[in-house]
Amino acid sequence: MNYTLHQLQVFLKITQTQSITKAAEELHLTQPAVSIQLRNLQDQFEIPLTEVIGRRIFITDFGKEIAVAAERILNEVHAINYKTLAYKGQLIGRLKITVVSTGKYVMPYFLSDFLKQHRGIELVLDVTNKAMVIESLEKNEVDFSLVSVLPENLQVDNIELMENKLHLVGNKEQEFKRQLHEKSILETIPLIYREPGSGTRHIMEKFIKQNNLPVIKKMELTSNEAVKQAVIAGLGYSIMPLIGIKNELSNGDLQIIPVKGFPIKSNWNLIWLKNKSFSPVASSFLDYIQKEKSRTIQEWFGWLEQF
């Protein structure tokens, strides 16, 4: 047997996702690279690990047993790495964080220097919708979560990371007067919404309800990127977090439409379960955030003050 740790890692991810495409995405590899690793692993066994029916891949019973063994082997490798680093006196372990989709423009900048200082920490960062973020926190599956709207029915502690500004945006095709528009402009243009449960949608709907605006809902999309591309393509307008449209504003693909009452403001919050027992890694990260928050904001997000 000549299988490699990389082959086992790829195969385990395939069994977890039930898809070569999804495995490739999560491992940041190309689909051909994943297929090659699967084939090289399969060549070492006379019994099939997978079978393809139609366009779907299925894991055989034998393959499932190999996946269990692969996970055990990979966990042991992680343990060896951790023990080596611990012997050297380094902080080791996993840091698990879930982030709402727009939070992917925020969280990496608060993690970068911390992870550089502690090479023994393995980051597990899951970017998903708000409902899944809160669910993972409620089940105590993660150390922290990043949200723009605090959960109402869950007892949490939090630290405010930075301000979240939302503006009405459109593409570059239609010209708008530079003057400040009345809020009633929202009644005359087709609006693109995020999906139910999205923090951005919650803030948007709260503003519309408070101002009693009978708006035109054009469509509903499931990610900030999808909304952004739809607005650029001219399918409608949307209220979007400024943090996610920096490049599009710079190159002119999007424009901010000045409206009274905008920007709508909320806060990005790092939250955790009340009375949670922190691991040394999580505790160290929280200390780092409290000490370095202002510097990180100034270094990476100073441009937000222009809007």
Same domain, 260 and 204: yes
Q: Please say which residue of 87, 102, 121 terminates a domain.
A: 87
In this predicted structure, the answer to whether residue 77 has a pLDDT above a threshold of 90 is no
Same domain, 138 and 281: yes
Q: Scanning the structure block, which residue is given the tokens 């964080």?
A: 97
Cα–Cα dist 99/287, whole Å: 19
What domain range includes position 153? 93-161+267-306
**What is the total count of domains within the chain?**
3
Same domain, 215 and 180: yes
Contact between residue 246 and residue 240 where contact means Cβ atoms under 8 Å apart: no
Same domain, 68 and 120: no
Average pLDDT over residues 51-76: 90
Q: Model confidence at 175, in pLDDT bands (50, 70, 90)? A: confident
Average pLDDT over residues 153-159: 94
Of the candidate ranges 78-92, 104-118, 168-182, the one whose mean pLDDT is the lowest:
78-92
Same domain, 150 and 74: no
Q: Residue 113 belongs to a domain with what CATH number? A: 3.40.190.10
In this predicted structure, the answer to whether residue 87 has a pLDDT above a threshold of 70 is no
CB atoms within 10 A of CB 293: 16
Cα–Cα dist 274/155, whole Å: 6
Same domain, 170 and 23: no
Cα–Cα dist 274/297, whole Å: 26
Structure token pair of residue 93: 């372990």
Same domain, 169 and 262: yes
In this predicted structure, the answer to whether residue 180 has a pLDDT above a threshold of 80 is yes
pTM listed for this prediction: 0.70
Same domain, 261 and 271: no
Same domain, 157 and 279: yes
Q: Model confidence at 86, in pLDDT bands (50, 70, 90)? A: low
Same domain, 67 and 125: no
Nearest to residue 197, comparing CAs of 140, 132, 118? Answer: 132
